[in-house]
Structure 1
Amino acid sequence: MNELRTDMLNIAIIPGTSRPQALNPQVVAWAKDQLAGREDVRAEIVDFGEFNLPLLDEVIPAGANMYQNDHTKAWGAKLAEFDAFIFVTPEYNHSISGSLKNALDFVASEFNHKVAGIVNYGADKGVRAA
């Protein structure tokens, strides 16, 4: 098994929608391709859809980092692995998608003191989603 280099920037690329037939997978692939070949970056696509997050169901606010549900614990643990995040999001109704907002609301401290970037697209180039 390959060991992760400690001098590498570990980046999660997070798709911004779970809508069927969306353009998002192609834009996510493009974002990942931009990082391909760099020896100082490890990029992984982390799809919140794979964590089966229902509409926010945690009783305690995320900032307390006292997750009760297994899906939240798994989502938080996965995000904690990364140094930085790239959110690839379309603009839906002058904002990000509801599914991305829901996924972000589950956690908090996993994003603290980490770099985030946004690749956005859609109506008016997606600027309102950014």
Structure 2
Amino acid sequence: MPTPGTPLPAALIPDCTKPEAHHAAYKSAKANDAIFVCIARQGPRWMVELDAFASSGPTIPDQAVAVLHTAVEALVSDGTVTQANMAPDYISMRALRVRSAPSATALVRGMIQVADGAATGR
């Protein structure tokens, strides 16, 4: 696993378009006591999911949650995301206006990096 403050490698963000892939990735996150993050194609658009409940470790720090919520609100406001569900330990964004898996992955990586920076004070 990456250390705090380093970008999450794209290879660690699974494409969970198929239900079996989602199930396997979530099961893997739980087995590794990690926060679950994935992308999935939904028709012509992409979905992003971040779920801290997969981990038994500490929840996402309040500062990072605030940053993530602000980022999600900005993405909804500018039309990049058309639907978002947020809770302190869960974020789901649907119908992302990105054209490819690398674009969706880059969005996830950026959000995690910003949240990690907020959590570590960087």
TM-score (norm 1): 0.29
TM-score (norm 2): 0.30
The structure that is helix-richer by fraction is 2
